[in-house]
Amino acid sequence: MTDPTVDPTLDELAATLADVDADGALQETAAAAFPGTRGAFLRRSLGTLAGITAGAVVAGEAAAAPVAATENDVAILRFDLVLEYLQAGLYTEAERIGALTPETLAWARVVGAHERAHVRALQDLLGRRTVPSPGFNYRDVTSDEDAFIKTAVAFEDLTAALLKWQAPRLDSRSIVAAAVTLHSVETRHAAWIRHLNGLSPVTSAFDKPASQERMARLIASTGFLTRRSRTALNARPRFTG
Amino acid sequence: MGESCGNDGATDLGSSAVRYSRHGLVRTGGALVAAGAVGSLFLVRAQPAGTAPSEALDREIFSFALQLEYLQAAFYAAAVGAGSLRGDVLEFAETVAEHEQAHVDFLRDALGASAPEAPEFDFGRAIRGERAFLDAAELLENTGVAAYNGQAANLTKPSLAAAAEIVSVEGRHAAWASALAGHDPAPRAADPGEPARAITATIRRTGFLR
Amino acid sequence: MRLALVAVLVAAAVAGAIVVVERDGSGAPASASRSGGIALARSAASLPPPAAPAFRVGKPRLIDGHETRARSAPVARRAVAFAEPGGRGQAVATVEPTTEEGSTNIVLVVGETTLGGGSWVRVRLPSLPNGRTGWVPRRALGGYAFVRTHLVVDRAHLTATLLRDDRAVFRAPIGIGVPAAPTPPGEFYVRVKLAGFDDPFYGPVAFGTSGRSAVLTDWPGGGYIGIHGTNAPELIPGRVSHGCVRLRNEDIVRLSRLMPVGTPVTIR
């Protein structure tokens, strides 16, 4: 991570996101991390509110008649999706580069497969309300064993804590029912990587929640979010022909 | 404020500030985040009528959970006491025994006078050898996760918050037991919840209960 | 009298006042009111079913077993590329964050090493002579992008073949450079994708590569070799261009759906 002792401010996160987020979708999502100052956050990052559009119907088994999801729930799910993009990307790159120890690579392979499945599930649920992945630069975290372990432990622990914070804040019980099925898997990931590295898999009888704001600060502190590359242009070629 | 997504029958429809039942079993200090407007976004399932969270239902759910925690607490305490565990596995049993007892204490406290008492258990060979112990521990922890995940959305918000703190630890226990047993600590991308009936059947099949 | 006492004891046992602790093979409860199994079942019966989840997570998504063919990265800040990692050897070239067209300048990453000072990566350079590589600090580059594709241009047979996971998924006839302005052989990569321009000479879509004409060195824009469509499809296949690889328009459109920027290009 760039500097774990620096606590990025709301301004820094807003600036980071304004820099990388072309269409405002990411800023809307990140604003959900700061519910009390959401309007201020969006003004800082110069984003515009995403329009409300009709979304996809959730597929699934027959139950009571479907009802509309709330903006609150959409914001929470979009935040989760960005977090899953980050983790899936981190573990995918680590596996592709293949420079970590066999044991850590085996962990990244299994856990990455889960995070990629989570990305797909959240994208499918959000439908037209989904957000695209930001660009990521993981620097040497995907090839340096110590940096990778530190980062993976931090993210798995904090993701589990985040999902605990979100669960009672979701309006939809059916989203709660789905979210808890992901939450317990994240706790397994956390315990597993701790166990592989001589850390205690569990440190307390009760695991505490952690807010979206706290997770947003962790994400900002990594410096992983980058501008997406512009490699497709509307421009006239000047090749030799 | 418009109607909620059918998630909480006790929501006060006239108040936009309180989005969860004040009548839950677990009390918290203040309101959680105020909900935003209901919009025509993607659609999610509403729940059938008659399953709305309430304090009475929280009690039933916590009562069920307490019985599972009694079983786990007794299992780990018995395993430690039987004296046949060593090293990493003993450390696991001792740590988890403390946690499960803490869960028992919490749930008993929440239920107060209506808390059920612990029944008797007989763990047989499951506490007398490392392999059998770890297999049983893995089963009990995974079953606990499935039980909590199955009832999570039936709880009021404050009780859900409390239950989440517990199931989180059960998930870690499960992965730890699996790792010690040489099994995959995270075999699935998601842990589905199961109905209480199925949980009961799994537990009764162990033979630990009379 | 004794019989009455036994009857009382039996009645008491049945009523649960005395717990008979006796385990049979099935673990069946010896006494109903102290039976944990029955208590659990009763408790379970009063609980509602789980709420139907809003979504289900599918199976874990493993990456294919295939190695990805290539890795590229954007240039994050101007950097000097050296002949050796560590920055002490001869300077080979300078890489800039943007190209002449204003696109992000990307480089193909073909090696890496870690020295005391940090990580260094070996990159394929879009400069002459063709095929040149150099070492830059990892921190000069942005995040990696991975591709599974590889374009092979065969100058003898006048074909372009796109491989994905080493399997051919596209093949088309091509036009290449006239002898006086040949298409250079070697290892290159796709740098940029251009569209929305209104120039039938290049067809509907064009790709810029890292390759450069060895003879047209004064060409405006640097003399880069492109892969593009044409307004003279009757010349394909043939040796007809100033170095670019030309495809018929329907073929370049098809290729543009299969070949991401960053794809390595081998010209044989």
Domain definitions of chain B by residue range: 55-205
Domain carrying residue C208 = 148-267
Q: Does C58 touch chain B (CB under 8 A)?
A: yes
Q: What is the pLDDT of residues B113-159, one digit of tens each?
A: 999 999 999 999 999 899 999 999 999 999 999 999 999 999 999 99
Q: Alpha helices of B24-129 — where are they, by DSSP H?
A: 55-82, 87-111
Average pLDDT over residues A106-114: 97
Residues of A with Cβ-Cβ distance to B179 under 8 angstroms: 191-192, 195-196, 201
- Residue identified by tokens 């929470």 is A76
**Which of C146, C163, C195 finishes a domain?**
C146
pLDDT at position A150 is 98
Where is pLDDT greater, at C49 or B12? C49
In chain A, whose CA is at the least distance from the CA of B7?
Answer: A173
Residue A211 has pLDDT above 70, yes or no: yes
pLDDT at position A238 is 87
pLDDT at position A62 is 33
pTM value is: 0.82
Q: Does B24 touch chain A (CB under 8 A)?
A: no
- For residues C121 and C210, state if they share a domain: no
Residue B12 has pLDDT above 50, yes or no: no
Q: How far apart are CA A219 and CA A92, in angstroms?
A: 18
- For residues C190 and C237, state if they share a domain: yes
pLDDT at position C100 is 81
From the candidates C43, C59, C62, which should be mutated to test the interface with B, based on the most B CB atoms within 10 A? C43
pLDDT at position B50 is 58
User: Binning pLDDT at 50, 70 and 90, where does residue C137 land?
Assistant: very high
pLDDT at position C115 is 87
What are the residues whose beta carbons fall under 8 Å from the beta carbon of B143, sequence distance 6 or more? B68, B199, B202, B203
What are the residues whose beta carbons fall under 8 Å from the beta carbon of B60, sequence distance 6 or more? C43, C46, C47
- For residues C107 and C189, state if they share a domain: no
Residue B180 has pLDDT above 60, yes or no: yes
**Domain ranges across chain A:** 70-226
Pairwise CB contact (< 8 Å): B184 & A110: yes
- Residue identified by tokens 């929501």 is B11
| Total domains, chain C | 2
Pairwise CB contact (< 8 Å): B154 & C51: yes
- For residues C174 and C114, state if they share a domain: no
Fold (topology level) of A70-226: Ferritin (1.20.1260)
Residue A57 has pLDDT above 50, yes or no: no
Residue C191 has pLDDT above 50, yes or no: yes
From the candidates A120, A188, A194, A208, which should be mutated to test the interface with B, based on the most B CB atoms within 10 A? A188
pLDDT at position C223 is 85
Considering only A53-67, B100-114, C61-75, C88-102, which range has the smallest mean pLDDT?
A53-67
- Helix, strand, or coil here: B87? helix
Q: Does A20 touch chain C (CB under 8 A)?
A: no
Q: Does B99 touch chain A (CB under 8 A)?
A: yes
What number of C-beta contacts closer than 8 Å exist between B and C?
102
- For residues C261 and C174, state if they share a domain: yes
pLDDT at position B95 is 98
Pairwise CB contact (< 8 Å): A202 & B167: no
**C138 within domain boundaries:** yes
- Is B55-205 CATH 3.30.70.20? no
- For residues C152 and C261, state if they share a domain: yes
Residue C130 has pLDDT above 50, yes or no: yes
Residues of C with Cβ-Cβ distance to A122 under 8 angstroms: 55
**C174 within domain boundaries:** yes
Contact indicator for A17, A27 with CB cutoff of 8 Å? yes
Handedness of CA C194, C199, C203, C208 (dihedral sign): negative
Residue C49 has pLDDT above 90, yes or no: yes
- For residues C159 and C261, state if they share a domain: yes
Q: What is the pLDDT of residues A166-180, one digit of tens each?
A: 999 999 999 999 999
- For residues C118 and C196, state if they share a domain: no
The neighbour count for residue A57, using CB atoms within 10 Å, is 11
- For residues C247 and C175, state if they share a domain: yes
Question: Which residue type occupies B184?
Answer: D
Average pLDDT over residues B32-60: 64
**C75 within domain boundaries:** yes
User: Binning pLDDT at 50, 70 and 90, where does residue C213 land?
Assistant: confident
Considering only A159-173, C85-99, C159-173, which range has the smallest mean pLDDT?
C85-99
**Which of C146, C168, C202 finishes a domain?**
C146
Contact indicator for A167, A183 with CB cutoff of 8 Å? yes
**C56 within domain boundaries:** no
Q: Which class for A208: exposed (0-12), middle (13-18), buried (19 or more C-beta within 10 A)?
A: exposed
Chain C: give the shortest CA distance to residue B16, in Å: 24
- For residues C162 and C242, state if they share a domain: yes
- ipTM of the assembly? 0.83
pLDDT at position C35 is 84
pLDDT at position C68 is 82
Angle at B30 between CA B22 and CA B61, to 5 degrees: 40
Average pLDDT over residues A123-134: 93
CATH of the domain at C189: 2.40.440.10
